[in-house]
Structure 1
Amino acid sequence: MNRLGKMGTRGQAPRRRALCAATTAALAAMAMPAFAQQSSDEAVELDTVVVTANKRVENVRTVGAAVSLIGEHQLENLGANSLADYADYVPGLQVQDNGNPGLTSISMRGIAAMSSGATVASYIDEVPVGSSGLWQAATTLNLDLLPYDIERVEVLRGPQGTLYGASAIGGLLKYVTRAPDPLAAEWRVGGGWSKVKKGGSGWNARFGANLPLVEDRMAVRVGYARNEIPGYSDSQLDGREDINGGTQSSGRVALAWQGDAFDLNLSALRQEIDFDDRAGVALDPATGRQLFGDVVDVLGARQPFEKRIDLYALTLDWDLGWADFVSATGWSDTKTMYQLDSTVQFGEVADLMLGLPEPGSSWVRYGLDLEKLTQEFRLSSKSGGPFEWMIGAFHTTEDAYQGQNVWLGLMDGSPPPPPLDAAFGTLAVVELPSDYKETAVFVNGSWRINDRFKLDAGLRQSRNEQSYSQIVPAGILVPLGTTHGASEEDVFTWSLSPQFQINDDTMLYARAATGYQPGGPNAALPGIPPSVDSSMLGSYELGLKSQFADRRAQLDLALFRIDWDDIQVQSQFNGVGGLVNGGEATSEGLELSALFRATDRLQFGLNAAYTEAEVKNDFKETVIPQDGFDVILNSGLGGDRMPYVPRLSWSATAEYYFDLAGGWYGHVGGAFRHVGNRVAGTSDRQRITLPGDPSTVLDETIVPPLEVGSYDAFDLYASVGNGSWTIRTFVNNVGDERGWSSMMRVEGALSGRLAHLRAVPIQPRTLGLEFDYRF
């Protein structure tokens, strides 16, 4: 991990290591709801926590922005395998689980995932991961890093366009890995077992080591983890049980050199995800009840998911004496394959178009490949002076490919009878090669006018160039042929944050900032524009960060309003579609984080967010010409709520620490989380008009968004340890609540017949037992 501010000579290295160790312990202690394991003689005062939100090491209490932290021990206590396992404990963060780790959609502060481009940027240390373009399904394939050997997760809420660029329009998710330590050897082994109610059992194993190679100079850190995750969802048609079980594995090697003038960090990471199917529940559209029993889906085809990411990073931190120079290089190769059951959607081609006696089965298979190279240079002043500055340049190149294959067969899985198999067995083959290049320059400054008043400001100028091809060699769903597209755009973003230190423990700040989601060339389909513009937003925030009661309590408040323009939304007809710039939306709300250390043994936490996010006006119409009539589509109407944004969500936590005999100590904790009512999507309006005459409406249909109910869940965890051994147990979703993380309609593409709803449940009650041994 980059040092972000070298302390100088070799003789100061022990101080650097001490600072690193203290920071790690503090972060674990501050993460809500879990805290570092500790003995009862520790101070009651809350610890100091540092973050790298502004690409400097700073006390989180002095950063003029909303920042949340998830520490290593919190991830361990919850038995977390994916983002969905801990998202409910971060105010303003929404994660939609689409059936298994790696299939997740992320939004923050009401900036919902409404197109194929991401609205939340993901970083591993200094390197952005995932596509900035539109053709890698970035909004549903967000980085879902297996949380092993992770020191903390930093969540920055609100646009981060000036320092982090494209796709950080809603915020940033930053994984900070554990750094090699040249002073102390460490070995760690661990494992665990878990059981899901009415599902299978799983296990995990992990290994880690830190090895000094040159005293006070060089070290290597290695780690490997493997999770066999139990399934719990069943398939009604073929009788398969626990179909959503799968495997996660992660390996990492990091090498660090710490010199007198520069530090060098080199790391390699691989993560693999392999699932046989995905979680799902078939619901009655009229009542919302489960149709075929507890956590049972209706599937005409399997839905496997495979993802592999290789990431290599090289960071140089050079102390120039008068400033620090940082070079951060990253290269990643991400390969993904996933398959969707489209039996209801396209299976009716068999009977409605081909005249077969019954509908068939169908699946859609996606194959994606992304190679991404990034390079960032930064030159920054030393910290601590009245004026701190940073200038930088950033470049990224993405070489991407997406393939789509839509298959049609009979319900038993066999192909259609000849000669229909040759002509209609493949409904579509689409190849989508694309590339994305972006270059940006940025400046950031912080002027400490006096002991109480400080002003932060930043500017970023970006330019992206994109090319894309749509190659359709076979099928009937998409017009055959090859089409090329290209786009280029210049984008300017800025931020301004005045901060006022009321006293030593209370800071008031305001923040105005902009962000953007890149546009690009579009699908070549009738009625779909050849390209879409960037989505832009402006955010205005007023915040308070305070510690009181002898620094045993802290309170963070953030009041915000966001205006979002040129929103990219999906426009779909007969099962295929592309993107349009829909219109405008607003999001405003209040976020709260509170922490209170009542005694040296007892600590409480509270997180809450109230968000009003809605479409401001009817989204732009898409006109799809047909034979003898036009179809006019609106994929959002004025007053619609933004998808998957609860008005109210909150979590409360409590932890108690105690001493045992023989040098052992322990802790117990509990957490309650509430996620309010949401909607899945926006309203769809379809009007049939005379050709070229939108004023003559022959028919109109409005389909409102699905209502996704609220849910409450309670988690319990406990541990005992003695410094070397740690034994943990947890029970997540103690009451076995059936809450829904995401929901969709399952309907025919030709007939429009609604067969059922498909929902993804939150994890049923899960019991786990874990151990770690460090030596």
Structure 2
Amino acid sequence: MHKHHKREQSPAVRRRSLSTAIAFTLALGMAGSALAQEVAPAAAADGPAAADPAKKAQELDTVTVTANKREENIREVAVAITKISDQQLENINATQMTDYANYVPGLAIQSSGTPGQVQVSMRGIAALSPGSTVGTYVDETPVGSNSLYQQATLYQLDLLPYDVESIEVLRGPQGTLYGAGAMGGLIKYTMKKPDPTQAEYRIGGGYSSTDSANGWGNSYRLGANVPLKQDVLALRASYARNKIAGYIDNLYDGREDINNGDQTSARASLRWQGESADVTFTAMQQKIDSDNNATVALDPVSHGRIAGLSNYVAVDEVFKKDLDNYALTVNWDAGFADFVSATSYTDTHTLTRSDLTFSYGEFPLALAGLDPRLQAGKAWLDYTLDLTQFTQEFRLQSKSGQPFEWLVGAFYSDEDGKNHQLIPLTQFDGSPLPAPWDGLIGTLGELSIPTTYKETAVFANGAYKFNDWFKLGGGLRWSRNDQDFSQDVIYGSFIGLTPGHSPNTSSEDVVTWSITPQFQINENMMAYAKASTGYQPGGPNIVAPGLPSQVDSSTLTSYELGLKSAWMDNRVLFDLVGYQIDWKDIQVASRVNGISGLVNGGKATSRGLELSLQVRPTNALTLGFNGAYNDANIDEDFPTITVNPAGNIPGLGDIRVDVNTGLKGDRMPYVPDLTWSFTADYYYPVANGWGLDVGGGFRWVDDRTNATTNRQVISLVDPFVPLQTDITEPLVIGSYNVLDLYASFSNEHWSLRTYIKNATDEKAYSTMNDTTSAITGVTHHTSATPIQPRMFGFEVDYRF
């Protein structure tokens, strides 16, 4: 249910509303808001064709993961973790996170309409502020900012997964081993390593057709592994491109298929392997270039589509992201222990253009009484983020398989970020406003926020196996971050900020810990308990009267009970985990005197159950079921923010506005209560080394809300008299179910695959927000990101 309580406002109040809305945009950006086994839809063999399907049953118990920064059997690790293999990604033609996220229990994802514009939450820890709550690693090094001003929650790393060996999804806080920003969990990409023993080459490509698209999408890829010196030195290189066919039409100007896009992935890795050490250097580039977002216009009352897959776009909403990542990893066998050095350097450029015409384009009408030449025009936000990040980790760890396994390490991160935001306002045809208004309001706001983030941490982790049935693990991490910030306002009179240079700094120390007792009930069943903590870094705040100079870290404590079991010679795997997470000092966006920043406020609790079942009734057939229930709610009202005075009512006097941006009992935004998926995979050996693999997955996602409740109370200042209370409830995004299908026919060299995503063409949405005029308060339309419409495709690969 969604309610807007309208009211007539004085010009002073309306202007304050506009200033508040733009300031919120400028200061914080356009923030919208299977356990312990490999997930389906496929349990296909590792190669293109499995000559021995009987081997597949045993592989259910030999999956290895690196959750504890060492290779371990996934069945013996006291972590809720899902591993997705490269073969599974290929089967469903996964080109972005939205293709596989619903098959991972406890993982929720929102897309803004292109790869790379995604928000990720785990176990109900929603993205309520710009700071990261889910960490990202590529092999041994982190990728992604921990600063509050790089919009980490909006632009999660979303690799085109070519040359990816596997993706590990760790749920629950990972603060002791992986540090800041991983309090909700971690997504870890493991890339394929150069092999100095044998050469391997691959080339492939394909075509796809999406409902409502007039053109075809296409993809191509090539890769090579070349031993440069047998058993010593090898080079691995790859390149892939995915062209996204547009399927959104423009109701504004009649153009069709406006959301064409490209993804490219390039990678080169050189590995030297000696007797007691190996060194790997990797250079990786990922690019995303989209002409427009895949968003549609809905009727603001019924939420039905106004005209199918169409949207109102006055200014093209381009999205570009270029990421260059360089990593150097050294592994040295010191005899008594292993030493690891992991170094990385990342350079990221992100440009997002958001059409604000239907929100701020009517602003000239507010001044039309002064100049009748002024008419409604166009407005947009150019949001540019630049980040360079250097990280270094050293660690020393014991050999695996000992009664006492230990690990000690040190970590350093240095980030330099730039955040530039510009809101131009033009006439409807795109030409400048008439003089002198072009100089006065031709730019509604322009702001730059250069930042630095430096973090130093030391950590230790260990586990002692007392006997065959009891093992106790624990970890501790101390971190310190120092941040510098500058608020450089170029144009600010209409956004409530004073032009000029305003520096700010912050420093904080944070300690995280974990303790994990583990019980081996019998050789086929393991139970564990885990208590752990995590944090989201704080930082310097927007410089404005009434806002705190810095926002503190947001922290949580998680309590977890888990069971991992295997029956019938590992043909049945069943895992179950229950958890409670207590979250405090939540970072939330707030507005004081029309200027937005962050404050710490409120507590929340998330409770849930996750289960996974995988059954192999025959050597050729694998069935899987994953499910998660999550109850995540705010425990108390977010802090009350007072705008005083907010305007004047003639004859009554000054008024004030008290705002709460979240109320006790609100659900966490974009977190479904229930999700589940069913998968099936059948392998049939044909003849002469050829095999047929068919399968699919059915996934169901519960309804969600797009935000928390907003309460606004308008009162007289003197004497204090409440006049009106407005409640804006969040939009409710409906539940949906999706069927995905695939089939492949392959041998040692050739692989022919076909797939259908969303086979029934389910019409559902990932995100939803009202597009409302800041001048009149009238909602023009509701903008929603649909899930992937039905897509059919086929792929061909040749390996030699």
TM over 0.5: yes
Deviation string, structure 1 residues 278-321 (Cα, Å, up to 9, x no partner): 01111112111112x11111122110011100000001111110
Distance across 2 between alignment mates of 1:767 and 1:53: 35
Q: State the AA in 2 paired with 1:168.
A: A
**Any residues of structure 2 matched to 1:516-527 within 5 Å, and which?**
516-527=535-546
**Any residues of structure 2 matched to 1:488-499 within 5 Å, and which?**
488-499=507-518
**Any residues of structure 2 matched to 1:287-306 within 5 Å, and which?**
287-291=302-306, 293-306=307-320
**Any residues of structure 2 matched to 1:203-222 within 5 Å, and which?**
203-222=218-237
Which residue does the alignment assign to 1:267?
282
Cα shift at 1:101? 0.5
Of residues 139, 145, 148, the one that matches 1:125 is 139
Distance across 1 between alignment mates of 2:450 and 2:655: 33
Of residues 29, 35, 40, the one that matches 1:32 is 40
Q: SS state of the match for residue 166, structure 1? A: coil
Distance across 1 between alignment mates of 2:716 and 2:502: 29
Q: Are the equivalent residues in 2 in contact too, given 1:161–1:494 (CA < 8 A)?
A: yes
Which residue does the alignment assign to 1:170?
184
Q: Are the equivalent residues in 2 in contact too, given 1:499–1:507 (CA < 8 A)?
A: yes
Cα shift at 1:546? 0.6
Distance across 1 between alignment mates of 2:672 and 2:406: 39
Q: Which moved more, 1:698-707 or 1:399-408?
A: 698-707
**Any residues of structure 2 matched to 1:134-173 within 5 Å, and which?**
134-173=148-187
Q: State the AA in 1 paired with 2:54.
A: E
Of residues 256, 260, 263, the one that matches 1:245 is 260
Question: Over the residues paired in the alignment, what is the CA RMSD in angstroms?
Answer: 1.7
Of residues 740, 753, 761, the one that matches 2:765 is 740
Distance across 1 between alignment mates of 2:479 and 2:769: 36
Identity %: 51
Distance across 2 between alignment mates of 1:568 and 1:756: 30
> Which structure exhibits the higher relative contact order, with contacts defined as CA atoms closer than 8 Å and separated by 6 or more residues?
2
Q: SS state of the match for residue 562, structure 1? A: strand
Which residue does the alignment assign to 1:368?
385
Distance across 1 between alignment mates of 2:583 and 2:692: 48
Which residue does the alignment assign to 1:630?
656
Q: SS state of the match for residue 204, structure 1? A: strand
Q: Which moved more, 1:395-404 or 1:695-704?
A: 695-704
Which residue does the alignment assign to 1:390?
407
Which residue does the alignment assign to 1:224?
239
Which residue does the alignment assign to 1:313?
327
Q: Are the equivalent residues in 2 in contact too, given 1:575–1:749 (CA < 8 A)?
A: no
Distance across 1 between alignment mates of 2:381 and 2:627: 39
**Any residues of structure 2 matched to 1:525-540 within 5 Å, and which?**
525-540=544-559
2:276 maps to 1:276: no
Which residue does the alignment assign to 1:507?
526
2:730 maps to 1:681: no
Cα shift at 1:525? 4.0
Q: Are the equivalent residues in 2 in contact too, given 1:667–1:720 (CA < 8 A)?
A: yes
Cα shift at 1:472? 0.9
Q: SS state of the match for residue 242, structure 2? A: strand
Of residues 627, 642, 649, the one that matches 2:668 is 642
Q: Which moved more, 1:161-170 or 1:256-265?
A: 256-265
Distance across 1 between alignment mates of 2:591 and 2:757: 38
Q: State the AA in 2 paired with 1:680.
A: N
Distance across 2 between alignment mates of 1:28 and 1:573: 46
Deviation string, structure 1 residues 18-59 (Cα, Å, up to 9, x no partner): xxxxxxxxx999342222242354233334100000001100
Which residue does the alignment assign to 1:773?
798
Q: State the AA in 2 paired with 1:482.
A: H
Of residues 410, 415, 419, the one that matches 2:436 is 419
Which residue does the alignment assign to 1:8?
none
Cα shift at 1:354? 4.7
Which residue does the alignment assign to 2:249?
234
Of residues 438, 448, 456, the one that matches 2:455 is 438
* TM, length-normalised to structure 1: 0.94
Cα shift at 1:574? 10
Q: SS state of the match for residue 449, structure 2? A: strand
Of residues 566, 573, 580, the one that matches 1:561 is 580
Deviation string, structure 1 residues 324-378 (Cα, Å, up to 9, x no partner): 1111000000001110011122112111245456422110001110000000010
Cα shift at 1:575? 8.8
2:600 maps to 1:581: yes
Distance across 2 between alignment mates of 1:465 and 1:407: 34
Number of aligned residue pairs: give it: 747
Which residue does the alignment assign to 1:7?
none
**Any residues of structure 2 matched to 1:94-109 within 5 Å, and which?**
94-109=108-123
Q: State the AA in 2 paired with 1:583.
A: G
Q: Are the equivalent residues in 1 in contact too, given 2:36–2:564 (CA < 8 A)?
A: no
Q: SS state of the match for residue 198, structure 1? A: coil
Q: Are the equivalent residues in 2 in contact too, given 1:40–1:658 (CA < 8 A)?
A: no
Cα shift at 1:481? 1.8
Distance across 2 between alignment mates of 1:233 and 1:209: 37
Q: Are the equivalent residues in 1 in contact too, given 2:37–2:83 (CA < 8 A)?
A: no
Which residue does the alignment assign to 1:6?
none
Q: SS state of the match for residue 244, structure 1? A: coil
Which residue does the alignment assign to 1:759?
784
Cα shift at 1:452? 0.6
Which residue does the alignment assign to 2:618?
599
Distance across 2 between alignment mates of 1:102 and 1:642: 22
Q: SS state of the match for residue 688, structure 2? A: helix
Decide whether aligned partners of structure 1 residues 572 and 618 sit closer, same or farther in structure 2, where only a CA change above 3 A counts. Answer: same
Q: State the AA in 2 paired with 1:721.
A: S
Which residue does the alignment assign to 1:5?
none
2:728 maps to 1:709: no
* TM, length-normalised to structure 2: 0.91
Q: SS state of the match for residue 90, structure 2? A: helix
Q: Are the equivalent residues in 1 in contact too, given 2:39–2:104 (CA < 8 A)?
A: no
Q: SS state of the match for residue 438, structure 2? A: helix
Distance across 1 between alignment mates of 2:709 and 2:376: 29
Of residues 415, 421, 424, the one that matches 1:407 is 424
Cα shift at 1:705? 0.8
2:110 maps to 1:91: no
Q: Which moved more, 1:106-115 or 1:567-576?
A: 567-576
Q: State the AA in 1 paired with 2:469.
A: R
Which residue does the alignment assign to 1:74?
88
Which residue does the alignment assign to 1:570?
589
Q: State the AA in 1 paired with 2:773.
A: G
Distance across 1 between alignment mates of 2:593 and 2:246: 33
Distance across 2 between alignment mates of 1:652 and 1:526: 53
Distance across 2 between alignment mates of 1:700 and 1:525: 26
Distance across 1 between alignment mates of 2:300 and 2:452: 41
Distance across 1 between alignment mates of 2:455 and 2:718: 39
Decide whether aligned partners of structure 1 residues 448 and 120 sit closer, same or farther in structure 2, where only a CA change above 3 A counts. Answer: same
Q: SS state of the match for residue 390, structure 1? A: strand
Deviation string, structure 1 residues 637-661 (Cα, Å, up to 9, x no partner): 0000001111110110011111223
Q: SS state of the match for residue 169, structure 2? A: strand
Q: State the AA in 2 paired with 1:707.
A: V
Q: State the AA in 2 paired with 1:232.
A: Y
Cα shift at 1:691? 4.2
